[in-house]
Amino acid sequence: MATQAISIPAAEQLMHMGDGLILHQALYAAAKLGIADLLASGARSTAENYAKEKGLPVASVQNRAASFVVPSPASATAAIEAFNVR
């Protein structure tokens, strides 16, 4: 049984090679910047990452339940959802 080669237009082949290069560069940059190490303890804000890297304190905010939370997208969303305009 003979196999038949599939012909892909040159322009499409070039686009696929470019996609591979972009993916390769993105993975290289993520590895070089240590993104996996930064995310190992969970997602944090850019400000929180910078503060931790520089050894600076991070401000906490007291919520209605009297718990102190570090500002994050999740805590900001919860605050907005709990806010009632009267």
Q: Is the pLDDT of residue 76 over 90?
A: no
Domain presence at residue 80: yes
What is this structure's pTM? Answer: 0.40
Return d(Cα 71, Cα 61) in angstroms, integer: 7
| Confidence grade of residue 64 (pLDDT, cut at 50, 70, 90) | confident
21-41 pLDDT, tens digit each? 888 899 999 999 888 887 777
Whether residue 26 is found in the same domain as residue 62: no
For the chain, the domain total comes to: 2
| Confidence grade of residue 1 (pLDDT, cut at 50, 70, 90) | low
Look at residue 6 in the predicted model and tell me its pLDDT.
Answer: 78
Whether residue 36 is found in the same domain as residue 67: no
> Domain range for residue 59?
43-86
Look at residue 48 in the predicted model and tell me its pLDDT.
Answer: 73
Domain presence at residue 3: no
Domain presence at residue 5: no
Whether residue 49 is found in the same domain as residue 60: yes
What DSSP string runs through 46-68? HHHHHHHHHT-----EE-TTS-E
